[in-house]
Structure formats: C-alpha cells, structure tokens
Chains A and B, each alone.
Chain A
C-alpha cells in the first residue's frame, strides 16, 4: 500500500491530502478534533452542503497514514484543479463572494474561516466550492478574523487591480503565491481608488497599517495583545468586503479574440460544416474528457460538453474566457470550465519544492484534445516547429482533433503580412509528417468552403 501525500497541504497541522491507489483522501489529525466535531455538531457542514458551498465528502474507515489521524475523509473528486491565475475576472469575483458567504455561515454557527486562500476554492460543475474541510476553527468571541489579510491579498487586491487598472494583472498571482502584497497593490492602483470606501479601507489603509506596525518592535520583548473585534464589527467588515467586491466590475470589451467568431473568414455554412465534422469525430472516439486549446468563447467546446463530456476550454484572451464563463453560468453548464492559458507559456509548477501548485502538464492528459484554428498561431506567430507541437500534444492527449490552416488561408496571410516567411516547411504534407511519429491519423476531412482540413488522430 503506497500513499502519496500531496504537496499542496503540507502547511496545515490539522491534516493533509494523500492519494492511495489513485483515490484522493484527506486525513484529519487528532489536533483538529475539537474543530472538526464542531463543524458537524454546529450544523455548519450541513448548511454548507445544502447551499452547495463545500465539496461533498464521506468519512471512510481505512487505515490512516500516520497515528495522529482522527478521521479519514474521501472528498468527491474534481474533474480538474484550476488556480486563480487561470481564472477570469468573474470567476475570481465569484470565488471571493463564495468565501465571504461561507464565512458568514461559519460565524452564524460559532465558527470562522482560518484560511481565506483562493486556492481553497475550486470550480466544480461551474460553481465555486470550498475544498478544504479543515479551513474552519471555533470562533472565540472578540477575536479578529485571522484570514482577513489573506482575503484581501488573494481576492480583493487582484480584483481591484483587474477592474481598476488592467485585467491582465491577475497574473501577479502567479508570482505571489500567497496573494498580491498590499503595498504593491496600492502602488499599482489608480489614485481614484482612494475615493472608494471599501478599496480605501481594505487595501490602502490596510497596506498603510501593515507598513506602520510591521516596523514597530514589541516593547520590552513583551508579546503584543491581540486586538479585540466584536462579532458585530466582524459582520460590518464582511458587509464592507462584500460590498467592495460586488461593486468591482469588469466588462469584457472588444479584444483581439473575443469577437473572433464575428470576424472569421468562415461563412456560417463553413462554420456549421466544421461543427458537424467535429461532432462526427467526437461520436467516433467518445472521449471521457476534452481539453479545447484556443477555445475562444467555447463554441466548439460545447460540442463536447453538450454530450456530457467534462470539457476544459482554455484560451489566452481574458475577455473570451470571461464571456465563456458568463455564458456557462447563465446556462448552468456543468460540464464546461473556461480557463485562461497562454499555451506558449503554460502554468508552471509553483510553490515550495515546485509541489504546491501543479503545472498544466501534471494535470493532464485529457482523453481528447481539440486544437481548432490553433496550429498557425503556434507555428507562425510563435515559431513553434510542428514536430515540437506534435510532441507536446502527444503528452497531453490520447486523441487529437486538429485543424490544419494552410498558408493560402487569409488568416495565415494576415499573420505573414508583417513578417518574413521563414516557414518553408509549413504546409500540409510536412504537418502530416511532423505528427506521424506521435499520432496515427484515423480520419481527415476538408472543411467545405475553406482550404482548411480537420484531422482525427490517436496517440501512438
């Protein structure tokens, strides 16, 4: 029996995640017993489950990893683990509101969140859920909210930067694994944010308070007394944080890609024909999971998710991902998860010993990959040689539905208009040759009304 403890949960003395025979479990340590029992007896767990705010789990009777175990939990598995730097604005905003909603319920049941990490939230069936059952502690009257700073760093700061400065600043979360430092955030925010009560209080004033008191030594080596905060004061802070988050808005404007479908060189007939071919290929391979790389707003991803196949729709454009997510939410589309990803610089392994946050590659492979209207961007705009592209896709998918876009296509001509054509090998024959070592072509079909061809391949 070989157990693998997960690198993301090593900081918490209350317990840890481990994998045994491919199944994910969470060990709750004896040291957390009082809090864990209170979570059950206070009715908080029941309430969070009823409101679909926490990942469902079962207590199981299996041998523990260490003698310090109190309980072993088997959480419902997630289709895909995503990270805040892969979320669009509304995903991060919804995750923030979910965290506050959980904290409100916790306070009502005599508990409080001791962690407000964005990494404790995951999207499951298109809804943000708390995945860390050990995030609660019994609330002691008068104690401040210990996770207040973390909430501001993980949620309010990036949301404010995205809404009030530039939506791409969510990528700071990739660098700052415990959220964006508030002094950095306030330096980047426009001065006008000081006129917003919530942002002024929880970001600007907060950063100033950190600066001022961080430098003050404890007098005569005595421990500083923890300040008292009334329950009503905590409610006021939660109201204020929620108001600040709700007032932050970002509208997906006209970016390069968000209006792509309106400005393609496809006729609507060709688009429909392409959809029919993808449909047919999906029916042929019946994949158990799909990654759509370069999904834009998810038109073709929905051909997979509409069949009940768990589908991740990756795109580089924050506006396209935002639109896709809002559409998922409106339609309660549970099988589709839109995420932000730059395929030329995908999410790396991060944190202590590179084990806290998984790279994209570690989270694969998918059963099938859709790579529609993508190859020319990677090969021509980003100089990725076709054999290297084939090698990468081979590591990430067992099946591949890929579209080859030739140089004669108007989109490729546009890409080549301002650069020297140093791609003599970019043609369909070399494309097939580049993929042949890694993939077996099952079928190919020209998309009617275009010069493009769709290939269905299987990894060798």
Chain B
C-alpha cells in the first residue's frame, strides 16, 4: 500500500505504524459523570466496518506525523489522507470532541 502523505507525497505503508479507528482521536471527557462507560466504549468497542474506514497511521520512519487515512477495508484502496492534527482541530472547532 502507498500512503499519499499530505506533506511528503507518496510513501510506502511500511514506513508507518498503524493504530486503528480514527475515533480514537475523540477521547471522552474524564470528568463526565458517565466517564467510565464512555471510556469503556472508547477503549474497547469498534465499528469495524467492511468498506470505508477512517484510521490512524503514524509516520514512524518519516516525519513522525499522525495521519487520518480513509481506506477501503475490502480492497485496501486509499481514498483520502489528512493530517490528524487538522482533523482534530477541525473537530474541536466544530465542538465535536467530548
């Protein structure tokens, strides 16, 4: 697989390590009254879709940036690559993060 890095261009997926579903960016508020339940869901439950999947890749052998890659889990085709920083900031601006 080739990941088209937004800053560095096309890079071999071997340079990256994989973390998982991009929902891991949306960390629950630890002070919320139902924090235990929400952290259980955050830590352990997954949508695990067959099809388009937004996921976190870390460019360990490169510029050490975190990326949000949109990839089809049925074909391994990558359709979108964003900097995780931009995704997180956009979510924060939109008030989505907990």
**Co-assembled chains A and B:** no
Chain B residues in contact with chain A, CB under 8 A?
Answer: none
Q: Which residues of A contact B (CB under 8 A)?
A: none
